[in-house]
Amino acid sequence: MAGSGWTDPRPLSPHLQVWRFHMTMLASIIHRATGVAMYFGAFLITGWVVALASGPEAYAIADYIINHPLAQIVLFAWAVAVMFHLANGIRYLFWDGPKIGFNPNTASLISIANFGFSIVAAAAIYGYAVFAT
Amino acid sequence: MTRKSTPMGSVRGLGSAQAGTEHFIHQRVTAIALAVLVPWFIFSIIHATKAGYASALTWTAKPWNAILLILLFSAALYHMRLGLQTVIEDYIGKSGTRQALLILNTFAVFALMAAAVLSVLKIWIGAGA
């Protein structure tokens, strides 16, 4: 086993500059980006559960942070990320399972629809959270 | 498509790397679970947190919610460990950095798993129902 100076000579994934822009490509990039973003979001959600288990004082601090305007922006961005990753992930499941939606036009249209859906769904969730009794 | 694998190779379902198909399959199986659990979580957590600490605690202490929360954290953390592993393997070519990040990924996910599941269990058991 070589040290940290050694670099694996095998090729890495193709990088952005070799691809012509298309919608499924953008959806794929955003799928990854939202996945990585939610990875860090998981630390926040776990923090919330730990605060809840720690007692009312810890929960009050978590609650105070969540209600800060900056945290609300993060929360809304999180909802957009979750909704996009969910919708686009279901598109991938249809590819991998029943092999539906491989036609380039269909795949591009669904990709565009997923972007629209993620914003609308996140707005609906946020609105529901604000106005639900 | 002609299959070039031996019968034993077909049974094992492994490629030349002797691994990888299970990564692909686990990623998708956890995805199916999350496609159900995540909408449930978002809908429920909105109501659970509406009335502050006491209502959030009551909601988490309910057996079904506690069970589904543990399943959610398990599926999500497993899914995101696989996902970030792929991202690291795709973009980090330097061997030492890659190994370090892969180990860090595993440690982070297990730490979150322990913290989240023990918190839910504490609330559930603490409620004494």
Other Cβ atoms within 10 Å of A7 Cβ, number: 13
Q: What is the pLDDT of residue A2?
A: 44
Nearest residue in chain B measured CA to CA from A78: B42
Q: What is the pLDDT of residue A132?
A: 75
Nearest residue in chain B measured CA to CA from A48: B116
* Amino acid at the residue B80: M
- Residue to substitute from A49, A80, A86, A125, interface B, most B β-carbons within 10 A: A49
- For residue B94, the SS3 value is strand
Q: What is the pLDDT of residue A13?
A: 65
**CB contact residues (below 8 A), chain A span 16-35, against chain B:** 32, 35
User: pLDDT of chain B along its 129 residues, tens only?
Assistant: 566 778 877 777 676 667 768 889 999 999 999 999 999 999 999 988 888 899 999 999 999 999 999 999 999 999 999 999 999 988 887 889 999 999 999 999 999 999 999 999 999 998 875
User: pLDDT, tens digit, for every residue of A14-46?
Assistant: 667 777 888 998 999 999 999 999 999 999 999
pLDDT more than 70, % of chain A: 88
> Which residue's structure tokens are 């909704």?
A83
Higher pLDDT, B7 or A85: A85
Contacts of A69 by beta carbon, 8 Å cutoff, 6+ apart: none
Question: Looking at the partner chain, which of A3, A36, A63 has a beta carbon nearest the beta carbon of B96?
Answer: A3
Please state, in angstroms and rounded to a whole number, the distance separating the CA atoms of residues A129 and A132.
Answer: 6
CB contact under 8 Å between A43 and B112, yes or no, is yes
For residue B94, list its beta bridge partners. A7
Q: Compute CA distances B83 → A41, A72, B7, B125, whole Å.
A: 14, 26, 31, 32
User: Is the overall model pTM greater than 0.95, yes or no?
Assistant: no
Interface predicted TM-score of the whole assembly (ipTM), two decimals: 0.85
